Amino acid sequence: MELIFLILGGLLLILFISCVKIIPQAYASIIERLGTYHMTWQTGMHVKVPFVDRVVNFISLKEQVVDFPPQPVITKDNVTMQIDTVVYYQVTDPKLYTYGVERPIQAIEVLAATTLRNIVGELELDQTLTSRDLINSRLRVILDDATDPWGIKVNRVELKNILPPSSIQEAMEKQMKAERERREQILRAEGEKTSAILVAEGQKESLILTAEAEKRSLILRSEAEKEAAIRRAEGEAESILKVQEATAQGLMKLNASNPTSAVLILKSYEALKEVADGKATKLIIPSDMQSIAGMAASLKEIITTKDA
């Protein structure tokens, strides 16, 4: 009898332990009682009623990422391309997520594919390749509105790859190569033009500087010649003045020494000698040297009168 009680006690303990559930952080569980929704267990420890309550779904509340395979999409200009999308979503209502739609992830995939076809069908190939942000934002808004009844919030949608047909890719590569070559030629031409302009401006500035230097050189040369002429004239004037002063002093000393007629005659000869050393072609000499002495005496009288 005691063994039966022990067995029953052990079974009850095992049953109680099996009915205790601990929900970790960022998770939730949906509980049904007798086949109908009863409650949602949040983080913490919970106990269910055995044989009455049942855990039907264990849901993660974290943000999740789903990478959908490429989908064929036709653009407005009838180009078929393969586009794969990445959807970031989060469960906000575990009850709606459980009972709102069958296979929620598959439903999001189908909805994303059809919405993407509608959006890209309004765009041409070039617009599709350059309008990723526009397509992402429109696709996210549509998916977020459509998944609200399912208890899902779509946080972000990204176009992972856009793959045009191989023929279109080759044509685009050729176009890009031609565009790069055209830009290279334009840049080279602009560089040559800029270089020619800079060279011309440099030559112009060089000519201007050369002309200014020559002008300054002429001005300085003329000023130097003018200064040299002034100094030369001043030197000649000073030399003439000193010669005249020396002559005057010589005459004064000669007069002060009361020269005799013989001295005057000698001076007259010296004067004739100096005259003879000149470049005159004719020289007149008095026939009577006595007249020279008379002239010297007259000169002495004139000097004496001037000193008086």
- 3-state SS record for 76-121: CCCCEEEEEEEEEEEECCHHHHHHCCCCHHHHHHHHHHHHHHHHHC
Same domain? For 73 and 139 the reply is: yes
Identity of residue 259: P
Per residue in 228-265, pLDDT (tens digit) is: 888 888 888 888 887 777 777 766 766 666 666 655 56
Which tokens hold the place of 279? 């470049």
Output the domain CATH number for residue 128: 3.30.479.30
**One domain, residues 124 and 82:** yes
pLDDT at 98: 92
The overall average pLDDT reported for the chain is: 81
pLDDT of residue 294: 54
233 is written with which tokens?
């004239």
Of 103, 138, 164, the residue at which a domain comes to its end is 164
Q: 95 and 25, same structural domain? A: no
79 and 155 inside one domain: yes
Whether residues 160 and 75 share a domain: the answer is yes
What pLDDT was estimated at residue 78? 87
pLDDT bin (cut points 50, 70, 90) of residue 306 is: very low
The domain boundary, picked from 138, 164, 190, lies at 164
pLDDT at residue 61, as a whole number: 93
Residue 284: predicted pLDDT: 53
Burial of 259 (C-beta count, 10 Å sphere; 0-12/13-18/19+): middle
Rounded Cα distance, 201 and 205, in Å: 6
pLDDT for res 155: 93
Structural domain of residue 117, as residue ranges? Answer: 63-164
Give domain status of residue 94, yes or no.
yes
- The token pair that represents 99 in the structure block: 């009972």
Residues 153 and 68 in one domain: yes
Q: Is residue 175 part of a domain?
A: no
- CA 113 to CA 254: how far, in whole Å? 139
Question: Amino acid letter at 4?
Answer: I
In a domain, 79, yes or no: yes
For residues 87 and 34, state if they share a domain: no
Residues 117 and 80 in one domain: yes
Spatial distance between the Cα atoms of 119 and 133, rounded to a whole number of angstroms: 12
CA 78 to CA 164: how far, in whole Å?
11
Are 137 and 73 found together in one domain? Answer: yes
- Please choose, from the candidates 209, 291, 297, 216, the residue with its C-alpha nearest in 3D space to the C-alpha of residue 261: 297
The per-type count for the chain, helices as H runs and strands as E runs, is 8, 9
Q: pLDDT tens-digit profile of 76-103?
A: 888 888 998 999 999 999 999 999 888 9
Q: Indicate whether 223 belongs to any domain.
A: no
Q: Is residue 252 part of a domain?
A: no
Spatial separation of the C-alpha atoms in residues 89 and 62, rounded to whole Å? 9
* pLDDT tens for each residue of 125-163: 888 888 888 999 999 999 999 999 999 999 999 998 888
User: Residue 197 above 60 pLDDT?
Assistant: yes
Does residue 306 share a domain with residue 271? yes
Please tell me whether residues 96 and 152 are part of one structural domain: yes
pLDDT class for 303, splitting at 50, 70, 90? very low
Positive or negative, the Cα torsion across 200, 206, 207, 208?
Answer: positive
What is the number of structural domains in the chain? 3
Q: For 42, list phi and psi in degrees, rounded to 5.
A: -100, -165
Alpha helices for 257-288 (secondary structure H): 261-276
Establish if 151 belongs to a structural domain: yes
Domain boundary among 143, 164, 185: 164
| pLDDT tens readout for residues 8-23 | 777 777 777 778 888 9
Q: Does residue 82 lie within any of the structural domains?
A: yes
Q: DSSP character for 85?
A: E
Rounded to two decimals, what is the model's pTM? 0.55
pLDDT digits (tens, 9 = 90+) for 102-118: 899 999 999 999 999 99
